[in-house]
């Protein structure tokens, strides 16, 4: 191994709001049905913040659990990265609120905006940071309050999204032969930006700018077009990462994809010729939680005994922008 310092995930945590919104609840809000949502997306329910509840509380809770599992104190953290497109404020960032909430007085902190690929972008940054600063510890969080940016009258989007937070502590692997982040790829194609937007509230259209229709203050998506690019890109990333590291799809022990749509996951599974038991799915419980999706899935995969030390894990994500990312790791 050329570089003896290899980064690894040392511990994970998660936290989601208690409030469950089912497909049957949505039937009472918009013209939709449990049958349509289940067949087209695989989603049965999602978690939604209550009034007055905020997503940073969940980010902090997830972070505390990850630190505990990694046996690391908040003071040992050097960097906190929050992947989110739904921070509580523009200033300050979610990351500094987490830093304060944890008492991580020796850590720098910043938010990272890369939609659903955000957690992989964050882990990639953490890997590079740790491998060039061998004693450093980085906390990566994916946390989203998408319900606060959802138009509850728009059935094309409100059935898809949910809230939640997941966290991972990244540091030097104690045993790089069996546990390490092997490789990652991150990318973007801004030419597609119009397919998934939240235009209102930025500096082009400050809040309540009357030039912009009210629905532009919420997330809007041209789902069918996004679907086509998502399937193509996720497949490309998966094969590229495997090939350049000398693996085939048969070597993969678990694929943990971004949970946006069960049909996208199924497409990817078929292209990679993976049996169902090698693909982790929890979209039925949480819907699409953007940057929180991969950490929620990784966390639950481990909790359910689907991951064991040394397993080859493939992460693949895709999101608005477009952004995309993939990661190969030994668990
Ligand atoms: N309930 C009932 N009918 C609906 C609903 C609904 N909730 N939403 C749309 N429909 C209707 C449409 O109006 C359309 O009717 P029509 O045929 O009479 O025009 C019909 O259902 C089919 O609509 P499509 O949009 O073609 O449905 P599709 O099968 O493409 O599924 C979906 C839509 C689920 C959005 C899918 O396209 C998708 O998952 N896209 C990708 C999402 C994604 O990966 N996003 C990236 C990350 S998201 C992020 O970054 C925050």
Do 161 and 257 lie in one domain? The reply is no
Do 148 and 271 lie in one domain? The reply is no
Residue with CA at minimum distance from ligand 1 atom 44: 260
**156 CA to centre of ligand 1 in angstroms:** 5
Residue with CA at minimum distance from ligand 1 atom 9: 156
Pairing mode, if any, of strands 138-145 and 79-83? Answer: parallel
Average pLDDT of the chain is 96
Residue with CA at minimum distance from ligand 1 atom 14: 156
Backbone φ, ψ for residue 114 (5° rounding): -145, 30
Do 320 and 196 lie in one domain? The reply is yes
pLDDT for 212: 85
The verdict on whether 58 is a catalytic residue reads: no
Do 205 and 163 lie in one domain? The reply is no
Does 118 map to a domain?
yes
Gap between the Cα atoms of 166 and 174, Å rounded: 23
* Overall average pLDDT of the 43-47 stretch: 98
**Burial class of residue 181 in the structure, from the number of CB atoms within 10 Å of its CB (0-12 exposed, 13-18 middle, 19+ buried):** buried
Do 162 and 238 lie in one domain? The reply is no
Do 167 and 199 lie in one domain? The reply is no
Contacts of 86 (CB under 8 A, 6+ apart): 55, 144, 145, 146, 148, 149, 290
Residue 3 pLDDT exceeds 90: no
Instruction: Give the pair of three-digit tokens for residue 279.
Output: 């693909």
Contacts of 322 (CB under 8 A, 6+ apart): 188, 189, 190, 192, 193, 195, 196, 229, 233
**Which residues are registered as beta bridge partners of 108?**
79
Gap between the Cα atoms of 177 and 331, Å rounded: 10
Residues with CB under 6 A from ligand 1: 32, 36, 40-41, 115-116, 155-156, 159, 196, 223-224, 226-227, 230, 260-261, 264, 288, 290, 319-320
Gap between the Cα atoms of 39 and 21, Å rounded: 18
Give me the CATH number covering residue 296: 3.40.47.10
Please identify which of the residues 23, 58, 82, 258 carries the catalytic annotation.
258
- Indicate the helix (H) or strand (E) that contains 120: helix 118-132
Pairing mode, if any, of strands 323-330 and 138-145? Answer: unpaired
Does 16 map to a domain?
yes
The verdict on whether 261 is a catalytic residue reads: no
Query: Measured from the CA of 26, which atom of ligand 1 is nearest?
Result: 7
Host domain of residue 196: 180-330
Do 125 and 33 lie in one domain? The reply is yes
Residue 14 pLDDT exceeds 60: yes
Single out the residue in 172, 199, 218 at which a domain terminates: 172
* Overall average pLDDT of the 79-93 stretch: 97
Q: Is 76 in a helix, a strand, or coil?
A: helix
**266 CA to centre of ligand 1 in angstroms:** 16
pLDDT tens-place string over residues 146-198: 999 999 999 999 999 999 999 999 999 999 889 999 999 999 999 999 999 99
pLDDT for 211: 83
Do 147 and 273 lie in one domain? The reply is no
Residue 76 pLDDT exceeds 90: yes
Do 53 and 69 lie in one domain? The reply is yes
Do 95 and 157 lie in one domain? The reply is yes
Gap between the Cα atoms of 300 and 250, Å rounded: 23
> In this prediction, what percent of the chain has a pLDDT beyond 90?
93
**222 CA to centre of ligand 1 in angstroms:** 8
**33 backbone φψ class: left, alpha, beta (φ>0; ψ -120 to 50):** beta
**125 backbone φψ class: left, alpha, beta (φ>0; ψ -120 to 50):** alpha
Label residue 31 by pLDDT band (50, 70, 90). very high
pLDDT for 207: 80
Gap between the Cα atoms of 118 and 129, Å rounded: 16
pTM: 0.96
Does 2 map to a domain?
no
Do 161 and 201 lie in one domain? The reply is no
Q: Are 66 and 169 in contact (CB under 8 A)?
A: yes
Gap between the Cα atoms of 46 and 160, Å rounded: 8
Query: Measured from the CA of 159, which atom of ligand 1 is nearest?
Result: 7
Label residue 2 by pLDDT band (50, 70, 90). low
Please identify which of the residues 23, 58, 82, 116 carries the catalytic annotation.
116
Does 248 map to a domain?
yes
Residue with CA at minimum distance from ligand 1 atom 30: 224
Single out the residue in 142, 172, 202 at which a domain terminates: 172
Single out the residue in 147, 172, 197 at which a domain terminates: 172
**274 CA to centre of ligand 1 in angstroms:** 26
Does 102 map to a domain?
yes
**159 CA to centre of ligand 1 in angstroms:** 9
Gap between the Cα atoms of 251 and 127, Å rounded: 22
Does 28 map to a domain?
yes
**262 CA to centre of ligand 1 in angstroms:** 12
Do 94 and 238 lie in one domain? The reply is no
Other beta carbons within 10 angstroms of residue 136's beta carbon come to 19
The verdict on whether 258 is a catalytic residue reads: yes
Does 161 map to a domain?
yes
Does 1 map to a domain?
no
pLDDT tens-place string over residues 203-218: 998 887 788 888 899 9
First to last CA, the chain: 18
How many domains is the chain built from? Answer: 2
């Amino acid at each position: 191994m050329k570089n003896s310092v290899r980064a690894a995930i040392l511990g994970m945590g998660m936290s989601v709001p208690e409030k469950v919104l089912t497909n049957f609840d949505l039937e009472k809000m918009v013209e939709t049905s449990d049958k349509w949502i289940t067949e087209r997306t695989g989603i049965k329910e999602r978690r939604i913040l209550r009034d007055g509840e905020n997503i940073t509380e969940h980010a902090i809770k997830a972070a505390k659990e990850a630190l505990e599992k990694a046996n690391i104190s908040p003071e040992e953290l050097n960097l906190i990265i929050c992947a989110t497109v739904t921070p509580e404020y523009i200033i300050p960032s979610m990351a500094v609120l987490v830093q304060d909430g944890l008492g991580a007085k020796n850590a720098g902190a910043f938010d990272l905006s890369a939609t659903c690929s955000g957690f992989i972008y964050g882990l990639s940054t953490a890997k590079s940071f740790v491998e060039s600063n061998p004693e450093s510890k980085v906390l990566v969080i994916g946390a989203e309050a998408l319900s606060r940016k959802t138009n509850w009258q728009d059935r094309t989007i409100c059935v898809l999204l949910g809230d939640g937070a997941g966290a991972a502590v990244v540091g030097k692997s104690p045993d790089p032969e069996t546990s390490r982040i092997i490789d990652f790829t991150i990318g973007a194609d801004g030419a597609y930006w119009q397919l998934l937007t939240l235009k209102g509230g930025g500096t082009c259209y400050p809040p309540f700018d009357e030039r912009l229709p009210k629905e532009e203050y919420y997330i809007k998506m041209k789902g069918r077009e996004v679907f086509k690019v998502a399937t193509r890109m996720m497949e490309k990333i998966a094969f590229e990462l495997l090939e350049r590291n000398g693996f085939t799809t048969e070597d993969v022990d678990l694929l943990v994809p971004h949970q946006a749509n069960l049909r996208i996951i199924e497409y990817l599974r078929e292209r990679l010729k993976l049996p169902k038991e090698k693909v982790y799915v929890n979209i039925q419980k949480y819907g699409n939680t953007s940057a929180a999706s991969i950490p929620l899935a990784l966390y639950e995969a481990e909790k359910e005994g689907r991951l064991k030390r040394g397993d080859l894990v493939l992460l693949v994500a895709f999101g608005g922008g477009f952004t995309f990312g993939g990661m190969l790791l030994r668990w």
